Structure 1
Amino acid sequence: MQVLVVEDDTRIAEALTEALQRFGHAVDWVGSGTEALKAALCTEFVLLDLGLPDLDGQEVCRRIREKSTVPIIAVTARAQELDRVLLFQAGADDYLVKPYSMRELLARMDAVARRVHASAPARAHSGAGGAGELYVFGPLSVDMRTRQVQMDGRPVHLTRREFDLLAALLVDAGAVHGREDLINEVWDSNWHGSTRTLDVHIGSLRSKLGGREWIHSVRGVGFRLALPV
Structure 2
Amino acid sequence: MIIIVDDRDLVRQGFSGMFQRIGYPVYGVSGEELPGWLESICSNEIESIEAFLVGQTNIDFCPVAKIRSITKLPVIGVLEQNSLPDILQLFEAGADDVVRKPIHVREILARIAAIRRRREVTRTVFEYGRLRVYTDGRDPEIDGKCFPLPRRERRILEYLASNGERRATRSQIYNAVYGLFEQDVEECVIESHISKLRKKLRKVLGYEIIDSKRFLGYRLAIKVDQSSVGESDRDVEIASGSFGQDLQATLG
Which TM-score bucket, shorter chain as reference?
0.3 to 0.5
Q: Which has the higher strand share?
A: 1
Q: Which has the higher contact order (CA 8 A, sep 6+)?
A: 2
Give TM-score scaled by structure 1 length: 0.45
Give TM-score scaled by structure 2 length: 0.41
Give the greater-gyration-radius structure (CA). Answer: 2
